[in-house]
Chains A and B, each alone.
Chain A
């Protein structure tokens, strides 16, 4: 500990950054494996099972294969933008993790504007998609990026309103404060008083990451792969990484804002609370996050793709009215200090 505080601050943050990003990349890599395995079993297949024990080394094999592949740059493509687009996708997807708290006090950058920063970072992701589709100079890529852009901005509004509801309830932009505002066991977490906002946020998160059933931007059967049809090898892998990093991020944010982050679900329950008192907060956080990551895969295996007009109708005509009404409801509840969530003592 003393040695740690002796290190210059940039070195400290460099070490902490690596300690966050490396496990994150590991989670992302094996998330792709989990996806193939989970969807495989849901469709009564067994999924990858050749590389390593039960296919556990499949992500490494995939990464090596992609590394050895040619990165094709189409002649008609806008070369600089074509190469920059994947970077613009992944940098915000990773950078948002700088403010995520993993346990009480276990956070790299404990800034007051944490949620604002994450909202800004996740909003930047859409530029990667638009630039990729434009720079490819291919019809399918262009159509895919148009669809993706319109869809992402439509759901970003619903998502932003849902976040405003969380802010009203928590009274802070700081993630640690948002989690601490949910203390008191599973019924005090915000998913209950903010239930409609939780639903809107999670579904918008699925739509924002262009995941099934909202994956018209990729639409394999109609526009082949959408905005990244012209990308190959490692350039494609970056888009892939960004998509999965964003999914993990959405799962983590859902946990932090609606499911009490690192808090134990048994707070205030007589026997269970002491029984599980020894479990570190990060374990609870990871259990909850992994559950939401699983639901992403579950959705993909269960639902057929939405039609584009249905997607836009859901975003504009259903989600936005719901969130506006519920923001007012929550604001009233906060002003009148409705217990048990906003009682005067809390």
Chain B
């Protein structure tokens, strides 16, 4: 059993090597002729007049918060999903209540307009 996780570890190490090798190769083979204009942030033909660290819409932040809530629900559902067949009707009803509470929250945020995007 532990062998399997050793396989995964070695797989990840090889994947890391593959991710490191091309940039090293590229920096060895490619030129490096830097000057101020080339190394400035991309802009369509004029000098950038604003910092990139700018304000952004709060909705992105809201989406991230909602994501955490729902992703946690999914994490709760995983173990239940595996054994629902053995649990039978009782297990189904338990998760029905759980999902019901989740849906109430979902409807609330829908009505509050947290999912609107214009």
Task: Give chain B's interface residues, CB within 8 Å of chain A.
Answer: 3-8, 10-12, 14-16, 18-20, 22-23, 25-27, 29-34, 36, 38-44, 48, 50, 52-54, 56, 59-60, 63-64, 67, 70-71, 74, 77-78, 81-85, 88-89, 91-92, 95-96, 99, 102-103, 106, 110, 115, 117-118
Contact = CB atoms under 8 A, between A and B. Distances in A.
Given A139-B50, A168-B81, A67 B7 contact: no
B30 A71 contact: yes
16 contacts: A67-B26, A76-B40, A76-B41, A87-B16, A87-B19, A98-B7, A108-B8, A136-B41, A142-B56, A153-B71, A167-B82, A168-B81, A235-B26, A238-B19, A331-B92, A334-B84
Ordered nearest first, which 9 A-B pairs have the shortest CB separation? A234-B26, A167-B81, A138-B41, A160-B74, A94-B15, A98-B11, A153-B67, A309-B117, A13-B7
Interface stretch (A16-24, A45-53, A202-210, A289-297): A16-24
B46 to A, nearest CB: 12
A70 B31 contact: yes
Contacts of B99: 324, 327-328
B118 A334 contact: no
B3 A9 contact: yes
Contacts of B27: 71, 234
- Chain B interface, DSSP helix/strand/loop, else mixed: helix
Contacts of B85: 171, 334-335, 342
B103 A324 contact: yes
Contacts of A143: 56
A109 B30 contact: no
B7 A17 contact: yes
Given A87-B19, A153-B64, A154-B63, A109 B118 contact: no
